[in-house]
Amino acid sequence: MKQRLLLISILCLPVLAMAQVLRDPTQPPASVVSPQAGMSDGLAGDLRLDGIRRQSGKSPLAVISGQLYKVGDQVAGRKLIRIGESEITLANGDEREVLRLAPAVDKIMKTNRSNRPAARGNAGSGA
């Protein structure tokens, strides 16, 4: 019985080791992330803009280095002063720094299917 447990344990080790190197599927590939996209050399340092969340009737939120922030919040000692469509602005006194989303991230507008016009047919034409 002990030999079986030992054998099972040894066979499971490679699976556990592989689980630690899985990449986050929600992040853009490393090949599209550049120093200008989501990272900055100046004021922002290691901060990255992961996303911007907008909901009807609510203030927009920025996802910065995995954390949610709204305008006015402090981010690593800097004040978040603006959330745009694909970028944010941080301030430290008179200095300003802009973080942008990765180039592969595009805004997708949701459409409400109930607002689409009904398909028109030739019903009742009698021809």
Per the CB < 8 A criterion, the answer to whether 78 and 9 are in contact is: no
- The tokens for 126 are 């009698």
Residue 56 domain-assigned? Answer: yes
Residue 57 domain-assigned? Answer: yes
Q: Domain count of the chain? A: 1
Residue 124 domain-assigned? Answer: no
Q: Which domain range does residue 48 map to?
A: 34-105
pLDDT by residue for the chain (127 residues), tens only, comes to 778 877 787 877 666 565 556 666 776 665 555 444 444 444 556 888 999 998 888 899 999 988 999 999 999 999 999 999 889 999 999 999 999 987 655 666 666 666 555 555 555 555 5
Residue 64 domain-assigned? Answer: yes
- The tokens for 80 are 């978040």
Residue 86: CATH number of its domain: 2.30.30.830
Task: Quote the pTM value.
Answer: 0.50
Residue 58 domain-assigned? Answer: yes
